[in-house]
Amino acid sequence: MNFETLLIPTLETILMTIISTLLAYIVGVPLGVILSITSKNGLKENKWINLPLGLFVNIMRSVPCLLLMIILLPLTRSIFLKGTGAWYTMIIPLFFASFGFVARIVEESLNEVDSGVIEMARSMGASTTQIIYKVLFKEAKPSLITGLAVSTISILGYTAFAYDFGAGGLIASAYSFYTNYTGNYLSYPNVWIILLVIILIVQLIQEIAILISKKVDKRRKAK
Amino acid sequence: MSELEIKHLSKSFKDHKVLDDISLSVNKGDIYGILGLSGAGKSTLVRCINGLENFDNGEIYFKNQLIANKTLPVNNVYRRKITMIFQSFNLLEQRDVLGNVLFALEIIKAKDKEKKALEALNKVGLIDKIHNYPSELSGGQKQRVAIARALVLEPDILLSDEATSSLDPDTTSSILELLKKLNEEYGLTIIMISHQINVIESICNKVAILDNSKIVEEGEMSDVFLNPKTKIAKDLIYSDHVKTMLDDKKMIRFLFNGNLDEPLIANIVEDCNILVSIVYADTKVIDGKVYGQVVIKLPSSKKEVDVLEKYLKLHKINFEEVNK
Q: Is B72 an 8 Å CB contact of chain A? A: no
pLDDT given for residue B285 in this prediction: 67
Ranges of each domain in chain B: 2-227, 238-321
| pLDDT band, very low/low/confident/very high, at B287 (cuts 50, 70, 90) | low
pLDDT given for residue A183 in this prediction: 87
ipTM of the complex: 0.86
DSSP B116-136: HHHHHHHHTT-GGGTT--GGG
Residue B173 pLDDT greater than 90, yes or no: yes
Question: Could you give the residue ranges of the DSSP H alpha helices within chain B?
Answer: 42-50, 76-79, 97-107, 113-123, 139-151, 169-186, 197-203, 221-226, 231-237, 240-245, 264-267, 302-314
CATH topology of domain B238-321: Alpha-Beta Plaits (3.30.70)
Q: Is A183 an 8 Å CB contact of chain B? A: no
Name the more confident of B285 and B205: B205
Q: Within 10 Å of residue B256's Cβ, how many Cβ atoms?
A: 23
Q: Is B311 an 8 Å CB contact of chain A? A: no
How many angstroms separate the CA atoms of A158 and A175, rounded? Answer: 15
Instruction: State how far Cα B238 lies from the chain centre.
Output: 17
pLDDT given for residue B240 in this prediction: 52
Could you say which of B86, B103, B133 has the minimum Cβ distance to residue A221?
B133
Residues of chain A with pLDDT under 50: 222-223
CATH: 3.40.50.150, 3.30.70.520, 3.40.50.300, 3.40.47.10. Which one for B2-227? 3.40.50.300
pLDDT given for residue B201 in this prediction: 84
Amino acid at B226: L
Answer yes or no: do A217 and B94 touch at CB < 8 A. Answer: yes
Report the chain A residue with the minimal C-alpha distance to residue B146: A120
pLDDT given for residue B225 in this prediction: 79
- For B218-256, the pLDDT digits (tens) are 998 877 877 778 888 877 776 655 555 555 567 787 777
Q: Which residues touch B266 (CB under 8 Å, ≥6 apart)? A: none
Answer yes or no: do A116 and B90 touch at CB < 8 A. Answer: yes
Interval B121-138 mean pLDDT: 94
How many angstroms separate the CA atoms of A165 and B22, rounded? Answer: 70
pLDDT given for residue B297 in this prediction: 80
Report pTM. Answer: 0.82
3-state SS assignment for residue B110: coil
Residue B46 pLDDT greater than 80, yes or no: yes
**CATH code of the domain made up of A3-216:** 1.10.3720.10
Q: Is A47 an 8 Å CB contact of chain B? A: no
